[in-house]
Chain A
Amino acid sequence: MNIVVCVKQVPDTEAPIRIRGDGRGIEEGGLTFVPNYYDEHAVEEALRIKERLGGTVTLVTAGPGRAAEALRAGLAMGADQAIHVQDPALDAADHIVLARVLAAAIAPLSGDLILCGKLATDDNAAIVGPAIAEFLGLPQATAVTRLELGQGAAQVHREVEGAVEVLEVSLPAVITVERGINEARYPSLPGIMKAKRTPITVRTLADLGLGPGDLGPSRVELLGLTPPPRRQAGRILEGEPAAVVAELVRLLREEAKVL
């Protein structure tokens, strides 16, 4: 089974964010970048399948030079090879354009299964996975909490509103994974050493056979980032527990009007 896993490097979710002066992005200086949380689960799922059935696990990312670290992290977990699409033209790409680029990098790999995280924790878009499926002409299953492979098909569990959907999807397919599908392993020391020696294949858009005209324009534009509105400082209720509770219920009913 040949499995392709898309990974993205994102800012550490615990790190504070400084918005750039022009509001069009964040200050990267001093910021810690990590592999996207959900992508680690996608890598883990791929490795478990490979350990059971054999085959290869190929990582693919698109992004600036620093994004190679996310590939190294996946190689250290046990992936076999990695492709890094790097091109200045990607700076202005929206998610749909990015998915088209990734699809062009994935297509020649003849993957039986393409795994992605359900979203990236930096922009929360959840666009790239299903868009890759469309560009590759493959079926998809998104936000999957359980994956079982059968003959030419997979059975997956998806959380839908108030229920779990059991879905059968024919393979090859693009599957995006949700938290809960597995516990991702930590890279082993030999894994880290091996990852350092594994060459990463770098591809430009031209290498992928894509010219500027093939991508089409980005159809959404970031106007600016602002800090979230500060919530008004609340009220701390003090006193005997019974009195405090009575006061809380009164406020929720009379002031907030939510009861």
Chain B
Amino acid sequence: MSRDVWVLAEHAEGHPRRITFELLSRARALAEMLGGRVASLVLGNGAARLSRELGARGADVVYLADHPLLAQYTTDAYAAVIAPLIAREQPSLLLIGSTAAGRDLAPRLAARLRAGLATDCAAVDLDQGRVVVTRPMMTRKAIARVAFRNDGLRIAVVLPNVFAPGAPDAARTPQVVPVPVTLDASAVRTRVAGITPIARETVPLTEADIIVSGGRGLRGPENFALLDELATALGAAVGSSRPPVDSGWVPHDYEIGQTGKTVNPQLYIACGISGAPQHLAGMSGSRYIVAINKDPQAPIFSVASYGIVGDLFQILPLLTAEIRRLKAAQAG
């Protein structure tokens, strides 16, 4: 096995996604401890131009697989290219982002290669020569430390927003290694028929630095407009707890919690959310939490960095106005 740490690059519109920079940053630290290199693996159609950016963010080597059948992510095509490559190169560790594609692919690869796999990782460390990850479990009521066996391949699927991306260094130029691709269309058993952007999502919830989220206290779908206005002022994404989804006020892709998304933003503003365990499971990893709720006993206050006990219908417009003033001053 090599000492190298690999990162599977994800990209959209010609650039690596932020999660890839986060993983490269962690991979650099791990590779230095292991005495190995950082390699990034990028699959696409015309993906060569991503190499520079991956190098600038920490990749020493870029393995580049370029093929028309790799223009979009599919399980079969990605697994067919990646599995033999990592079986041959034997990286010490492969980091994959916990994204729709990453979660789809990693178990498939691990099963094919009999690799060790840990998903939902919130930390990846070396401990006495072993790779050890930390992952929340049981509605975030327990944190598990999981170690990989030292023999065999190791794959860690890492949550977004837990590692800070490194600053780009344009002077770094990676070695680019082309990966020969022999793919037949008949071996790809799924076909992407379309991708429809969710119009409201300026930034996906799981990647957002700031999230404004609403709960039962909003009383109705029309009042989510208050959150939209605050979110626009902040450049934030809008989410919800479970009751607004169950009541049909917002679609279920808004939902943050055990039966929705897990998010780790810098700032989470919970509006009219009581803080049931099922909701805390999805957001209590946020760096700062602001809670606005009229019930001083609401459990959300026990996890809030800053709490306001009050009427959100009064507070939110004031907060939006104050943020607008601040942003205008910062812009000026």
Contacts and interface: CB of A to CB of B under 8 A. Distances in A.
Is B one of A's binding partners? Answer: yes
Interface of A: 11, 13-14, 16-17, 19, 26, 37-38, 94-96, 99-100, 121-131, 133-135, 139-143, 145, 155, 158-170, 173, 179-180, 216-229, 231-238, 241-242, 244-246, 248-249, 251-253, 256, 258-259
A94 to B, nearest CB: 8
A259 B326 contact: yes
Contact of A166 (B139, B193, B304): B193
Interface in B290-306: 290-291, 296, 301-306
Contacts of A180: 251-253
Contacts of B144: 123, 222-225
A249 B326 contact: yes
Contacts of B124: none
A223 B147 contact: yes
Main secondary structure of the interface of B (DSSP, over half): mixed
Contacts of A99: 107, 111
A237 B114 contact: no
Contacts of B310: 241, 244
B331 interface: no
B289 A258 contact: no
B196 A241 contact: no
B267 interface: yes
Interface in B80-139: 99-101, 103-108, 110-112, 114-120, 132, 135-139
B146 A228 contact: no
B287 A258 contact: yes
B203 interface: yes
A140 B75 contact: yes
Contacts of B12: 161
B111 A220 contact: no
A163 B195 contact: yes
A140 B197 CA distance: 22
B303 A231 contact: yes
Contact of B101 (A37, A160, A218, A219): A160
Contacts of A252: 267, 288, 290, 306
Given A133-B108, A256-B267, A179 B146 contact: no
A17 B142 contact: yes
A202 B149 CA distance: 32
Given A123-B137, A248-B319, A134 B189 contact: no
B147 A227 contact: no
Given A252-B288, A256-B288, A220 B118 contact: yes
17 contacts: A11-B138, A17-B138, A17-B139, A26-B142, A121-B139, A121-B259, A123-B144, A124-B135, A159-B100, A161-B99, A166-B192, A216-B114, A219-B154, A225-B142, A231-B302, A237-B307, A252-B306
Nearest to A160: B100
Which 7 residue pairs are nearest across A and B when measured between Cβ atoms? A219-B116, A139-B189, A134-B111, A180-B252, A130-B107, A160-B100, A131-B111
B223 interface: no
Interface stretch (B44-52, B162-170, B204-212): B204-212
Given A237-B306, A241-B310, A26 B101 contact: no
A231 B197 contact: no
Given A26-B138, A131-B107, A225-B142, A165 B195 contact: yes
